[in-house]
Structure 1
Amino acid sequence: MLNIEEIKQIIPHRYPFLLIDRVEEMEVGKSVHAVKCITASEPWFTGHFPDHNVMPGVLLVEAMAQAGAVSILSMEENRGKLAFFSGIKNAKFRREVVPGDKLDIHVEITKMRRNFGSGAGKIYCGQDLCVEAEISFFIEK
């Protein structure tokens, strides 16, 4: 549905901090399914960990936030604005993410009130649930 260039028109993140490759499905302002393919050349693998590459959990939650931001910032009233993290709750890391994994990132926007909101995210590698978390955000006015 959205390629990397279209994503970059919506959110300001760029390499090496753009953590979604494409959007597969989206219901604007409600839900999104994004994808990130993990390669051995990801910059964080040089130090996390040199002999046992694992994607840092905080970056997995950030990938959820970026996917959610694409959905929220695609709303007509939010175009051209920025979305900022304001909280993380109930994060659970269930499986390591390693080179070769394809992340399916699912975020559902569960609450939106004025410029504040929250969402529930899950990341899968195939059938395996890797991460789940509740995230909250605000949109600059």
Structure 2
Amino acid sequence: MRVVGAERRGLVAYAAVVRPDELLPHRPPFLFVDEIVDLVPGESARGIWRLTGEEYFFAGHFPGRPTLPGVLMCEAIAQVGALAVLADERFSGKLPLFGGLDKARFRRQVGPGDELVLECEMTRLSTRAGKGSGRALLNGEVATEADLMFVVVDQQ
């Protein structure tokens, strides 16, 4: 994992291996980031989601042609964005909650055995709310892209 410029901004720099569940409150079956590959606290993050085919949603979406629901790709992008926010020590004890979704586009079908690269970059971030722009890539091509809005609340 790469952490860029964290020291010069006075932010926490993470060790080479940080698991998504160390930062995110999400847990299976609703944790959609398997690995963090790039993290700039308060700015951006990139992660991997490996779809095995054993995920619960493939059974009913769609029988005979299992397809990852687009809304779950948006959630996965939001989880990567939450990693960027929660890695910033200013947000210790906080929880970013989905506030909205704009310009969502679904460009590729994703199914069992696929690996998504999830990216999200903060375009605006304050102590109370923020916006991010993200995408999910399948084999280097955009599968989903969207702009996300969120509010920041106390975790308790």
TM-score (normalizing by structure 2): 0.85
| Structure 2 residue corresponding to 1:74, chosen from 87, 92, 100 | 87
Conserved in 2, the CA contact under 8 Å of 1:104 and 1:125?
A: yes
Tell me how far apart the structure 1 counterparts of residues 49 and 125 of structure 2 sit (CA, whole Å). Answer: 26
List 4+ stretches of structure 1 deviating above 6 A. none
Query: Unpaired segments of 5 or more residues in structure 2?
Result: 2-15
The letter for the 2-side match of 1:122 is: R
Question: Bigger radius of gyration, 1 or 2?
Answer: 2
1:86, distance to aligned residue in structure 2 (A): 0.1
The number of residue pairs the alignment matches comes to: 140
> Who is 1:36 aligned against?
49
Q: Which amino acid aligns with 2:64?
A: D
Q: Structure 1 unaligned runs (5+)?
A: none
* Corresponding residue for residue 10 of structure 1: 23
Partner of 2:7 in structure 1?
none
Identity level (%): 36
Shift of 1:61: 0.2
Report the TM-score, using the length of structure 1 for normalisation.
0.94
Secondary structure, counterpart of 2:25 in structure 1: coil
Distance 1:81 1:11 in 2: 10
1:88 maps to 2:101: yes
State the Cα RMSD in Å. 1.3
CA distance in 1, matches of 2:81, 2:129: 13
Structure 2 residue 64 is matched with structure 1 residue 48: no
